Chain A
Amino acid sequence: MIDIKLIEECRSGNFNNFRKLVELTSPFAYSVAFRMLGDDDQAKDVVQDTMVAIWQKLQKIKTAEVYKTWTYRIVVNKCYDQMRKKKRNPEFSADDQTWGLISNRISEEPSAALENAETSKIIGILTEKLSHKQKAVFILSDLEGMSNDEVSEITGIGKSAVKANLYHARKTISEKIEKYL
Chain B
Amino acid sequence: MKAGSEKYDRVINLLRKSNPELDSTAGIERDVIRKISEIERSGINFSGVVDFLFGWVYIGWVRRSLIAASVVMVMIFVYQQGVILKRIDKISRQVVVSDKEIIPTIDDKIEKLLMVYKNSGRKFPSKTITISEGQMKELLESVKDLQIKYKDLEELIDGDPELKKMIEKKLTDSNRTKINL
A-to-B contact residues, CB < 8 Å: 15, 18-19, 22-23, 26-27, 30-31, 34-35, 43-44, 47-48, 51-53, 55-57, 73, 77, 80-81, 84, 102, 105-106, 111, 113-116, 118-120, 122-123, 126, 142-143, 145, 156, 170, 173-174, 177-178, 181
Q: Is the CB of B20 within 8 A of A47?
A: no
Q: Is the CB of A119 within 8 A of B33?
A: no
Query: In the docked arrangement, what's the CA distance between A105 and B18, Å?
Result: 11
A-B contact pairs, 12 of them (CB 8 A): A15-B33, A47-B22, A52-B32, A52-B35, A81-B60, A111-B17, A114-B14, A114-B15, A123-B15, A143-B12, A173-B11, A177-B4
Residues of A within 8 A of B33 (CB): 15, 18-19
Interface of chain B: mostly helix, strand, loop or mixed: helix
Q: Is the CB of B28 within 8 A of A106?
A: no
Q: Which one of A44, A115, A119 lies within 8 Å of B15 (CB-CB)?
A: A119
Q: 7 closest pairs, A vs B, by CB? A: A114-B18, A34-B20, A178-B4, A106-B10, A30-B22, A51-B32, A113-B18
| Nearest residue, chain A, Cβ from B20 | A34
Q: Is B124 an interface residue (CB 8 A)?
A: no
Interface of chain A: mostly helix, strand, loop or mixed: helix
Q: Is the CB of A106 within 8 A of B11?
A: yes
Residues of B within 8 A of A55 (CB): 32, 36
Residues of B within 8 A of A15 (CB): 33, 36
Q: Which one of B15, B25, B39, B59 lies within 8 Å of A122 (CB-CB)?
A: B15
Supposing A30-B22, A48-B32, A55-B32 touch, asked if A111 and B14 sit within 8 A by C-beta, the answer is yes
Query: In the docked arrangement, what's the CA distance between A178 and B32, Å?
Result: 43
